[in-house]
């Protein structure tokens, strides 16, 4: 008999050879119907894998992330089968599940797959699915595997990197694939499948290698779920930050300036500036001091920090000067510069913590294929800050940073978020630098802070960096997509490398602890996420222009100016559209630009000192005519609802 421990801690005994599906059946028939994947002692197994030792078993249904992964990975096998049937002679490479759906990278040779082919592939996938083929794993020798794939140089390369005795195949229907496992019981539960797109992808992500075709797909156990998903995708397209950035005239990319180097247009720059001012104001209250550092630094600086070892070879290469042997790097991180600011004078424990903040622009090389709008760029500005404190101050500092991050999320309408606490690997504590005592302190500080602030958090062991534990925030946007924002990271490494110290109450020198933190992450990525989250309808306080004054004709230019001036006195940002165009056209254009308020002014309004207020996106419903002061009061009230002041 073997002992199987379930996630709730209960232990059940079974005969050796029991499968996860048998265990599910022994619990309930309903569970057995819904179980599609399992893991045993932390490793993914098939629902039919025979278990022969004691261990921890987790059963997954479609609702679990692991269940979806198995579902999508299994569908990628079926899609590969359909592709092979419909495009004979193609070469399959790899086909993993991804966050949403799956892909298969295929060498189509002289053939080509286009949108027109998608439907017949999908139909064939569903046909195979309906035949309810089981996924069956089997072992193969290296020689057998190489023989099977003798005409496929990609799979051959994969097999050559595997050890004999560890190679497995997965069979279903007439199809066999090299695979490590993790499948649903049979194809029958795949009820809906769609090919989403095709794109170029280099073999193993290396642009020196052959370009393959990546076929992206998704599948669901219910047709309804696919329909809903496709609707969501349509909405995501409408909200694509690259599209909105162009429509709202926020940013631009110029091939002449270079790929991945965004140019901020006046409206986008105003938006950025407003975000910066917002955070600077809160940071000032929280005791941060603003610093400024150059965009380049001597190579030695980054050798000292260790960033050269990390970014050197794979990033921008050193800049040489006319002087012999001088080498500078574009800065990939602001931290080394801030360490040198700390080192500018000696400190006593009474002076700490020091909190240095900078909107610092950094540069990292990304392959051109990896670039994506503002979310993957080659130069970006971090809302960076480094806190230098004593180990005993960590607890309070961490809580303060969390307060700041929560303030940022709250003011920008991100209400749905979770946190991940990344700690050391319990089994392998040697790979981390810093004393055990300090790690203990830092880990407890983070957990206490997360608890104290009522965060919805999970603890991940082994996810800490070698130099310190961290806390990451994941936000869900309006379309239900998760984004990682706001990292708070403890660091024992850089204080060591830069020989930072302070004089303690014992008159001895001690190492400070360093905290890296960036609530936005980078301005570029944050604005992209904010654009997609809000669809361009930013919170009113952040809008570059909160209102546009539309005159009924040029006759009312002076009155329009008067309205604008009065609003300006109340710090309300308004533009005037005084063109000789019809009011209908002016409204349509203002709608596209998403001005929250359109203020229509004509003879009546001028006579009475009023504005006719129309709200964005409401098609004229609820239009009201009110005094200018009343409108100003309305805007102020709405702003104060989302933008509270930051209290420390
Ligand atoms: Zn597989
Ligand atoms: Zn840093």
**Residue 335 falls in the annotated catalytic set:** yes
Dihedral Cα 544, 549, 554, 557, nearest 10 deg: -90
Express each pLDDT in 348-376 by its tens digit.
999 999 999 999 999 999 988 889 999 99
Distance 170 CA to ligand 1 centre (A): 6
Closest ligand to Cα 336:
2
Confidence of residue 621 (pLDDT cuts 50, 70, 90): confident
pLDDT at position 207 is: 86
Q: Which of 283, 382, 546, 593 is catalytic?
A: 382
CA-CA distance, 372 to 528, in Å (whole number)? 10
Distances (CA, A) of 400 to 272, 451, 452, 531, 550: 24, 13, 11, 28, 45
Distance CA 168, CA 162 (A): 10
Distance from Cα 341 to the centre of ligand 2, integer Å:
13
Tell me if residue 616 is catalytic.
no
- Ligand (nearest to CA of 179): 1
Q: In this predicted structure, what is the pLDDT of residue 437?
A: 85
Average pLDDT of every residue of the chain: 94
177 CA distance to ligand 1 middle (Å): 7
CA of 518 to the centre of ligand 2 (A): 9
Nearest CA-CA partner of 624 in 597, 588, 589, 587: 597
- List pLDDT tens digits, range 492-544: 889 999 999 999 999 999 999 999 999 999 999 999 999 999 999 999 999 98
Is 386 one of the catalytic residues? yes
Beta carbons of 396 and 528 less than 8 angstroms apart: no
Catalytic, 403? Answer no
**Residue 533 annotated to the active site:** no
Statement: residue 648 has pLDDT above 80? no
Taking the centre of ligand 2 as the mean of its atom positions, its distance from the CA of residue 335, in whole angstroms, is: 4
pLDDT at residue number 56: 96
**Which ligand is closest to the CA of 69, given by its number?**
1
pTM of the predicted protein model: 0.80
Q: Give yes or no for a contact between 347 and 319, defined as CB atoms under 8 angstroms apart.
A: no
Give me ligand 1 centre to Cα 74, in Å. 6
Q: Which of 170, 335, 339, 389 is catalytic?
A: 335
What pLDDT, in 10s, does the model give residues 433-472? 778 888 888 899 899 999 999 999 999 999 898 888 999 9
Taking the CA of 182 as reference, the closest ligand is: 1
Distance CA 595, CA 537 (A): 8
pLDDT at 438: 83
Q: Is 470 a catalytic residue?
A: yes
**Ligand 2 centroid to residue 113 C-alpha, Å:** 45
Residue 272 annotated in active site: no
Residue 358 · residue 334 · CB < 8 Å: yes
pLDDT attached to residue 173 = 94
Task: Catalytic residue, from 105, 384, 395, 472: name it.
Answer: 384
CA of residue 339 to ligand 2 center, whole Å: 9
């Amino acid at each position: 008999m073997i002992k199987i421990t379930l996630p709730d801690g209960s232990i059940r005994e079974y005969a050796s050879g029991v499968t996860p599906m048998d265990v599910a059946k022994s619990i309930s028939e309903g569970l057995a119907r819904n179980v599609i994947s399992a893991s045993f002692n932390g490793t993914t197994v098939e629902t039919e894998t025979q278990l022969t030792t004691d261990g921890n078993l987790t059963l997954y249904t479609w609702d679990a992330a692991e269940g979806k992964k198995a579902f999508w990975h299994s569908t990628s096998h079926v899609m590969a089968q359909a592709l092979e049937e419909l495009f004979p002679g193609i070469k399959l490479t790899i086909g993993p599940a991804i966050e949403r759906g799956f892909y298969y990278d295929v060498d189509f040779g002289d053939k080509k797959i286009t949108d027109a082919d998608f439907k017949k592939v999908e139909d064939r996938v569903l046909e195979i699915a309906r035949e309810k083929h089981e996924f069956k794993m089997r072992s193969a020798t290296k020689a057998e595997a190489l023989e099977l794939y003798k005409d496929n140089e990609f799979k051959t390369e994969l097999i050559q990197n595997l050890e004999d005795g560890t190679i497995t195949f997965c069979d279903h229907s007439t199809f066999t694939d090299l695979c490590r496992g993790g499948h649903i019981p049979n194809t029958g539960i795949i009820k809906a499948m769609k090919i989403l797109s095709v794109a170029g992808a280099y073999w193993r992500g290396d642009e020196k290698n052959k370009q393959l075709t990546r076929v992206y797909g998704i599948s669901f156990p219910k047709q309804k779920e696919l329909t809903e998903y496709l609707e969501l995708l349509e909405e995501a397209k409408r909200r694509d930050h690259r599209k909105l950035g162009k429509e709202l005239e926020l940013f631009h990319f110029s091939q002449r300036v270079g790929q991945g180097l965004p140019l901020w247009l006046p409206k986008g720059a105003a938006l950025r500036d407003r975000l910066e001012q917002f955070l600077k104001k809160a940071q000032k209250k929280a005791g941060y001091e603003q610093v400024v550092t150059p965009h380049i630094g001597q190579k030695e600086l980054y050798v000292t920090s260790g960033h050269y070892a990390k970014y050197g070879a794979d990033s921008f290469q050193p800049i040489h000067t006319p002087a012999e042997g001088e080498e500078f790097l574009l800065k990939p991180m602001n931290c080394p510069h801030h360490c040198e600011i700390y080192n500018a004078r000696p400190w006593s424990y009474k002076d700490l913590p020091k909190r240095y903040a900078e909107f610092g622009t950094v540069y990292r090389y990304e392959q051109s294929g990896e670039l994506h709008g503002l979310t993957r760029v080659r130069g970006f500005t971090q809302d960076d800050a480094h806190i230098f404190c004593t180990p005993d101050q960590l607890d309070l500092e961490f809580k303060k940073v969390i307060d700041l991050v929560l303030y940022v999320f709250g003011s920008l309408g991100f209400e749905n978020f979770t946190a991940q606490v990344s700690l050391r690997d319990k089994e392998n504590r040697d790979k981390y630098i810093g004393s055990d005592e300090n790690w203990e302190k830092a880990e407890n500080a983070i957990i206490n802070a997360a608890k104290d602030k009522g965060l919805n958090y999970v603890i991940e062991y082994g996810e800490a960096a070698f130099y310190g534990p961290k806390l990451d925030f994941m936000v869900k946007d309006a379309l239900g997509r998760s984004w990682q924002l706001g990292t708070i990271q403890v660091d024992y490494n850089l204080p060591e490398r830069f020989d930072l110290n302070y004089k303690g109450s014992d008159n001895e020198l001690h190492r400070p602890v360093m905290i890296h933190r960036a609530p936005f992450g980078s301005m570029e990525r944050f604005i992209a996420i904010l654009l997609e989250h809000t669809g361009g309808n930013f919170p009113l306080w952040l809008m570059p222009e909160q209102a546009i004054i539309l005159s009924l004709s040029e006759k009312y230019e002076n009155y329009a100016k008067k309205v604008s001036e009065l609003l300006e006195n109340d710090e309300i940002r308004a533009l005037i559209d005084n063109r000789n165009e019809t009011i209908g056209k002016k409204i349509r254009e203002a709608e596209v630009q998403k001005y929250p308020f359109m203020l229509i002014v004509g003879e009546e309004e001028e006579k009475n000192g009023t504005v006719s207020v129309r709200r964005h996106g409401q098609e004229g419903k609820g239009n009201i005519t009110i005094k200018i002061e009343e409108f100003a009061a309305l805007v102020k009230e709405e702003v104060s609802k989302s933008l509270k002041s930051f209290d420390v």
